[in-house]
């Protein structure tokens, strides 16, 4: 029956959309799929494009060359044949740390996770980044801490404080890492697929809360860069 194409424009600014928590108010920003219909009526592929991305697809339609050609060979991430068991401990597959002093951790894990969106100004972000980089130790060579590393460390420490964790409480932070350039050999620039890995950074609540922001930020940078 062909492909359905929907085009929409808006003169709104991001600030006009609020915090996106009122999803029903902005549901038309995301294509809707009715999963109650028979499976053969569902689209095989659903793509939402920005104005820039539409321009790239238009080049394809006009048979014009692309700046980066998509690389679609999934075999580059295929498991060994036969598979070889890893000799390293992968903390990303461990269960979340148990709460110390909790009588029933099973009940704790069944509780619904709380979701919060925090609004930080550019000045607040830059202040945190400056504080973290001022606390860099002499052995921490190379580039300074990024905004992402700084904010992740700040939130990690703040959650430990807000939860009132025991000083010996093990904590873990999940960091999503793009492995395209980290592999040997690196994946092609146009690799079209999922090449992200979940890296786990671990520490005790007492260390995070008693030490400066640079400690948490340094751990995130080190573990994220070594994986």
Whether residue 142 has a cis bond before it, omega within 30° of 0: no
Kindly report, as residue ranges, where domains of CATH 3.30.559.10 are found in the chain.
91-110+117-225
Q: What is the mean pLDDT of the chain?
A: 80
* Total H helices, total E strands in the chain: 6, 2
Any idea of the CA torsion for 106, 160, 121, 16, to the nearest 10 degrees? 10
HSE-CB for 218 with a 13 A CA cutoff = 19
pLDDT band at 206 (very low <50, low <70, confident <90, very high): very high
**pLDDT for 67-98, tens place per residue?**
777 788 878 887 777 877 777 777 788 887 88
Q: Report residue 201: phi and psi, to 5°.
A: -105, 130
Span between the terminal Cα atoms of the chain, in Å? 46
CATH class of 91-110+117-225: alpha beta
* Residue reference for tokens 């930080």: 120
* Residue reference for tokens 């003169």: 11
**pLDDT for 4-20, tens place per residue?**
777 777 787 777 766 66
What tokens appear for 159 in the block?
């959650």
pLDDT of the residue at 18: 67
**pLDDT for 32-61, tens place per residue?**
788 888 988 888 877 766 655 566 666 766
**pLDDT for 105-132, tens place per residue?**
777 777 787 777 788 899 999 999 999 9
* Structural contact between residues 75 and 81, judged by C-beta atoms closer than 8 angstroms: no
């Amino acid at each position: 029956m062909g492909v359905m194409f929907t085009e929409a424009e808006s003169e709104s600014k991001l600030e006009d959309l609020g915090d996106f928590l009122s999803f029903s108010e902005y549901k038309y920003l995301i294509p809707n799929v009715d999963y109650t219909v028979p499976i053969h009526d569902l689209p095989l592929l659903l793509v939402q494009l920005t104005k820039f991305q539409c321009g790239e697809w238009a080049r394809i339609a006009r048979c014009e060359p692309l700046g980066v050609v998509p690389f679609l060979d999934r075999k580059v991430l295929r498991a060994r044949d036969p598979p070889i068991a890893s000799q390293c401990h992968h903390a990303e597959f461990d269960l979340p740390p148990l709460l110390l002093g909790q009588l029933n951790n099973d009940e704790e894990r069944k509780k619904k996770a709380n979701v919060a969106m925090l609004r930080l100004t550019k000045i607040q972000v830059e202040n945190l980044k400056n504080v973290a980089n001022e606390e860099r130790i002499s052995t921490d060579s190379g580039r300074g801490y990024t905004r992402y590393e700084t904010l992740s460390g700040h939130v990690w420490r703040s959650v430990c404080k807000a939860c009132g964790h025991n000083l010996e409480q093990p904590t873990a932070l999940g960091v999503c890492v793009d492995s395209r350039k980290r592999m040997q050999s690196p994946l092609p620039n146009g690799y079209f697929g999922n090449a992200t890995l979940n890296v786990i950074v671990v520490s005790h609540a007492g260390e995070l809360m008693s030490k400066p922001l640079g400690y948490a930020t340094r751990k995130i940078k080190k573990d994220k860069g070594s994986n």
